[in-house]
A = this chain, B = another copy of it.
Amino acid sequence: MVNFRTDLALERRDLYKKANNIAEEVEGLATEQETAGEDINITRVKVLNEAGEQAIGKKKGNYITIDIKNLKIATEPEIQKASEAVTKELKTLINNLVGPQDPVLVVGLGNLYVTPDALGPKVIQDIDITRHILEYMPDVLDKETTRSVCAVSPGVLGTTGIETLEILKGIVDNIHPKLVIIIDALASRSIERISSTVQLADTGIIPGAGVGNQRKELTIETLGIPVIAIGVPTVVEAATIAADSLDLFIKKIQDEAHSNDFLNQLQEEDKYEMIKEVLQPADYNFIVTPKEIDELIENMSSVVARGINFATQQ
Output the nearest chain B residue to A290 by Cβ-Cβ distance: B286
The answer to whether B303 touches A86 (Cβ under 8 A) is: yes
Chain A interfacial residues counted at CB < 8 A: 154
Quick check: which of A31-39, A45-53, A55-63, A293-301 contacts chain B, the rest being far away?
A293-301
Q: Is A250 an interface residue (CB 8 A)?
A: yes
Chain A residues numbered 275-314 whose CB sits less than 8 Å from any CB in chain B = 275-279, 282-314
Q: Residue A252 contacts which of B158, B278, B290 (CB distance < 8 angstroms)?
A: B278
Q: Is A124 an interface residue (CB 8 A)?
A: yes
CB A261 to nearest CB in B, in angstroms, measures 8
Q: How far is the CA of A284 from the CA of B132 in the complex (A)?
A: 26
The answer to whether A147 touches B313 (Cβ under 8 A) is: yes
Contacts of A263 in B (CB 8 A): 250, 260, 262-263
Chain A residues numbered 200-244 whose CB sits less than 8 Å from any CB in chain B = 211, 230, 232, 234-243
Contacts of A173 in B (CB 8 A): 170, 173
CB A12 to nearest CB in B, in angstroms, measures 14
Chain A residues numbered 174-205 whose CB sits less than 8 Å from any CB in chain B = 174-175, 181, 183, 187, 191-192, 194-196, 198
Q: Is A166 an interface residue (CB 8 A)?
A: yes
Chain A residues numbered 38-97 whose CB sits less than 8 Å from any CB in chain B = 68, 71-72, 74, 79-80, 82-88, 90-91, 94
Contacts of A161 in B (CB 8 A): 129-133, 148-151
Output the nearest chain B residue to A280 by Cβ-Cβ distance: B239
Output the nearest chain B residue to A129 by Cβ-Cβ distance: B161
Q: Is A23 an interface residue (CB 8 A)?
A: no
Contacts of A119 in B (CB 8 A): 297, 300-301, 304
Q: How far is the CA of A275 from the CA of B106 in the complex (A)?
A: 39
Q: How far is the CA of A173 from the CA of B266 in the complex (A)?
A: 52
Q: How far is the CA of A278 from the CA of B241 in the complex (A)?
A: 13
The answer to whether B294 touches A291 (Cβ under 8 A) is: no
Q: Residue A115 contacts which of B68, B94, B271, B289 (CB distance < 8 angstroms)?
A: B289
Q: Is A171 an interface residue (CB 8 A)?
A: yes
Q: How far is the CA of A162 from the CA of B133 in the complex (A)?
A: 10
Q: Is A13 an interface residue (CB 8 A)?
A: no
Output the nearest chain B residue to A92 by Cβ-Cβ distance: B311
Contacts of A264 in B (CB 8 A): 254, 260
CB A203 to nearest CB in B, in angstroms, measures 18
Q: Is A22 an interface residue (CB 8 A)?
A: no
Q: Is A9 an interface residue (CB 8 A)?
A: no
Shortest 6 CB-CB contacts between residues of A and residues of B: A170-B170, A86-B307, A242-B245, A150-B161, A260-B260, A131-B161
Q: Return 11 A-B CB contacts under 8 Å, by A number.
A: A3-B270, A3-B273, A112-B112, A116-B287, A117-B291, A167-B171, A235-B289, A238-B245, A242-B275, A245-B279, A262-B262
